[in-house]
Amino acid sequence: MVEVMMAVLLLGIVSAAIGGFLSAVGMRGAQQMRPSDPAMEAIVAMRRLGTIAPGVRCVLFADQGRCLIWLHDDNPNRAVNTTEVGLLRFDAANAELVLETVDRAAVFAVPTLESEYEEGGYAGILDDFDNLRANGSLVQRVLAEGLESVVFETPAAASGTAQARFVSQGSETLAVIAPIPLEVPLR
């Protein structure tokens, strides 16, 4: 009888040790699944943007949760067209920073979606992007996720650039969107 009690006691101790080990492993895994700090998310976002659009020309417009960038000049006319811009937008519902571009297939099907914008008229692009988003004519690419907010600002002294403030888990970091070489539209 004493032997059986000792075996049960030993089994209980081993079970508790195994349970503690598995609990510690599970907690570590849960910590790794949490969103990373904003500095890492900013680095990932800028790297993804650089991969998707390596020839970014300049920042056209930036406000609180949106940043309009001139990605490339397909028509070498140094004018901004709808298919040449991208919209960096913080999607609060999904806690993601996304890059939205016009779906080229949609423009091919409906050529009137393509427009040329003059300097100072870039707010019109934002309205057009809202309409294109509602029609499902935009392609969205996630650049960063697990963020509380991303706020864009344009520095007073630096034309064609913007700053993005990434906030996550009570911490924040600042990333600069500054294309090199900077090329501004002529019209």
Write down the mean pLDDT value for the chain: 80
> In whole angstroms, how far apart are CA 179 and each of 28, 138, 187?
39, 23, 19
To the question of pTM greater than 0.85 for the whole model, the response is no
* Cα(148)–Cα(184) distance, integer angstroms: 32
* Cα(77)–Cα(71) distance, integer angstroms: 14
Note the pLDDT tens digit of each residue in 88-132: 999 999 989 999 988 888 877 877 777 777 777 777 888 888 888
